[in-house]
Amino acid sequence: MAEEVLLIGTWGSPFSGRIEVALKLKGVQYKYVEEDMANKSPVLLQYNPVHKKIPVLVHNGKPIAESQVILEYIDETWQDYPILPKDPHERAIARFWAKLIDEKCYPASFRACWGADQKEHEKAVEEVNEQLQFLEDELNEKRFFGGEEIGFVDIVGNVIAFWLGGLEEASGAVVMAREKFPKLCNWANEFVRQSVIKESLPARDKLIAYFRNRFGAGTSK
Amino acid sequence: MAEEVLLIGTWGSPFSGRIEVALKLKGVQYKYVEEDMANKSPVLLQYNPVHKKIPVLVHNGKPIAESQVILEYIDETWQDYPILPKDPHERAIARFWAKLIDEKCYPASFRACWGADQKEHEKAVEEVNEQLQFLEDELNEKRFFGGEEIGFVDIVGNVIAFWLGGLEEASGAVVMAREKFPKLCNWANEFVRQSVIKESLPARDKLIAYFRNRFGAGTSK
């Protein structure tokens, strides 16, 4: 049976971007459908009635939602190019950092850029900086979090490697200062240089215009 | 080499309770250390410097934090009594519901019980009810979310099966009405009746006293 792999996403979303990267790394052929989040399609509502959000991966008619859940599914379904390490402890560590990035670091980055006031902005910058310091230490001398190759934490870390820079430029805030986080900054450069990443990223100017249009001028301006 | 399995937890936490259940289901011998969260131990700070939270599982000297990450680790490390299904799509579905429970349902339950005002209370009850309806439909006629046996979603669902009742009683709020969610209520009864669960639960009175002491009278009182 020919496999049917459908990805419902949006151009500017790091979360659907992750799924594209994973499918490309695995060499899985897929069809991409751009969702209009201002006018959600019946297909999205059918496949993700709980959250009504992208990304949704539909594999042979079966839907899966939530980007990290989809990444785990992809890794379990297609064996080429493992995304998570083999060792259970290393897998746990990768899941731990990925969870930190999505649950703490990325949401705090938004507050750092578009906090309600200067106080919230400063508090959030401090928060993100503490988290980034842990990530800087975890990365250490490695090329990627996954080692020599892009792995689970790198794919999830696209929000730091690429999107955070967009948030900073759109809002005028500085969250990940190069002098404080030289390793993370080098990793981010190395990450976005990879052809499989580059071809899955939105145009930076378009993303920044989108953020400005949606969130307005930043707190620190 | 003899295995060293250490669990750092607190008596009233559903999150360390989950780890106890999983280890017991797997038949893994472990040592439990009660943490004083008002006066955190150097051991906790050493093993979970990022969040400084329980539970932490330390297996042969290697620490893992975050209850769902620990559950995945336990399932990958000890093969007896699989917690997650085998099929990748069923695994994804289990992870999806577990994520909903922890990220949406349980936090909203607190706002439903101790919202800042009546408006927040009502909004949160509505939110939780919508989520519980999805879980009610997912459970359907099954004994447990895992089928005939307790699985990943059931273990994570301890916050609904047991803790939510404690929150309701301590605050006086009604969040999961029996007439609205008969299947979930039956499941909760069946879940807490299992000996492996029962022996891992805190005393209900003690838990309610703890909640009242910590959060005060509920919004809806």
Q: For the segment B126-178, what is each residue's pLDDT rounded down to a tens digit?
A: 999 999 999 999 999 999 999 999 999 999 999 999 999 999 999 999 999 99
Q: For B51-78, how does the pLDDT look when each residue is reduced to its tens digit (9 = 90+)?
A: 999 999 999 999 999 999 999 999 999 9
pLDDT value at B2 more than 90 = no
- DSSP states of B52-98 as a string? --S-EEEETTEEEESHHHHHHHHHHH--SS-SS-SSHHHHHHHHHHH
Give the Cβ contact number of residue B72 at 10 Å: 24
From A59, A72, A92, residue closest to B64, measured CB to CB? A92
Q: How many CB atoms lie within 10 A of CB B59?
A: 22
A73 touches chain B (CB under 8 A): yes
End-to-end, the C-alpha distance of chain A in Å comes to 56
The two three-digit tokens of residue B199, written as one number: 């022996």
Instruction: For residues B35 and B41, give the distance between their C-alpha atoms in angstroms, rounded to a whole number.
Output: 7
- Residue A76, strand partner residues: none
CATH 3.40.30.10 residue ranges in chain B? Answer: 5-77
CATH code linked to domain A88-215: 1.20.1050.10
Contacts of B131 in chain A (CB under 8 A): 50
CATH 1.20.1050.10 domain extents, chain A = 88-215
Distant-in-sequence, close-in-space partners of B53: CB < 8 Å, separation ≥ 6: B65
Distance CA A185, CA A187 (A): 5
pLDDT tens-digit readout, B98-136: 999 999 999 999 999 998 899 999 999 999 999 999 999
Amino acid at B27: G
B103 close contact with A: CB closer than 8 A? yes
**Distance in angstroms (rounded) separating the CA atoms of residues A115 and A108:** 9
Residue-wise pLDDT for B14-32, tens only, equals: 999 999 999 999 999 999 9
A13 token code pair: 């979303």
Q: Are A143 and A190 in contact (CB under 8 A)?
A: yes
A217: tokens are 């001028």
| CATH domain B5-77 topology | Glutaredoxin (3.40.30)
The identity of residue B146, as a single letter, is G
CA atoms within 13 A on the CB side of A167: 25
Q: Which of B49, B76, B91 sits opposite A91 (nearest CB)?
A: B76
Q: Using the beta-carbon criterion (under 8 Å), do B96 and A62 form an inter-chain contact?
A: no
Collapse the DSSP code of B209 into the 3-class scheme (helix H, G, I; strand E, B; otherwise coil) and give the result.
helix
Nearest to A66 among B70, B77, B99 (CB): B99
Residue B61 forms contact with A (CB below 8 Å)? no
| d(C-alpha A125, C-alpha A24), whole Å | 34
pLDDT for position B1: 59
How much is the ipTM here?
0.96
For residues B27-38, give the mean pLDDT.
97
**CA distance, residue B119 to nearest chain A CA (Å):** 22
Q: Is B73 on the interface with A (CB under 8 A)?
A: yes
Report the C-alpha gap between A73 and B90 in whole angstroms.
Answer: 9
Q: Is A6 on the interface with B (CB under 8 A)?
A: no
Token look-up 């007896």 returns B80
Residue of A nearest to B70 (CA): A92
Residue of A nearest to B134 (CA): A50
> DSSP assignment, residue A161?
I
A119 in B contact zone (CB under 8 Å): no
Give B-chain residues touching A45 at CB under 8 angstroms. Answer: none
Q: Cβ contacts (< 8 Å) between A72 and chain B: which residues?
A: 91-92, 95
Whole-angstrom CA distances from A151 to A160, A213, B10, B83, B202 are 15, 33, 34, 25, 40
**Chain A partners of B73 at a C-beta cutoff of 8 Å?**
88-89, 91-92
* Cα–Cα distance, A10 to B68 (Å, whole number): 29
CB contact under 8 A, A64 and B96: yes
- Are the beta carbons of B66 and A99 closer than 8 angstroms? yes
Q: What's the angle, vertex CA B50, arms to CA A136 and CA A22, rounded to 5?
A: 60
Parts of chain A with a pLDDT under 50: none
**Given this model, what pLDDT does residue A1 score?**
59
Structure tokens at B219: 């919004």
- How far apart are alpha carbons A68 and A74 in whole angstroms? 10
Mutate: best of A78, A86, A95, partner B, most B CBs <10 A: A95
Q: Which of B72, B91, B100 sits opposite A50 (nearest CB)?
A: B100
**Which of B15, B19, B99, B153 has the highest number of chain A CBs within 10 A, making it the mutation to test binding with A?**
B99
pLDDT for residue A221: 53
Angle subtended by helix axes A106-114 and A164-171, to nearest 10? 10
Distance from CA of B78 to the nearest CA of A (A): 10
What pLDDT is recorded for position A138?
97
Q: Where residue B221 falls among pLDDT bands split at 50, 70, 90?
A: low
List of chain A residues whose C-beta atoms are within 8 Å of the C-beta of residue B59? 89
Could you tell me which of B211, B210, B199 has the C-alpha nearest to residue B32? B199
Give all strands of the β-sheet with A56-59 in edge-to-edge order. A31-34, A5-9, A56-59, A62-65
**Which of B:27-56 have CB within 8 Å of A?**
49-50
- B177 CB near a chain A CB, below 8 Å? no
CA of B51: which chain A residue's CA is closest? A100
Count helices and strands (H / E) in chain A. 12, 4
Buried b (16+ CB within 10 A) or exposed e, B169-194: bbbebebbeeeebeebbebbeebeeb
Collapsed DSSP state (helix, strand, coil) of residue B198: helix
**pLDDT reported for residue A220:** 60
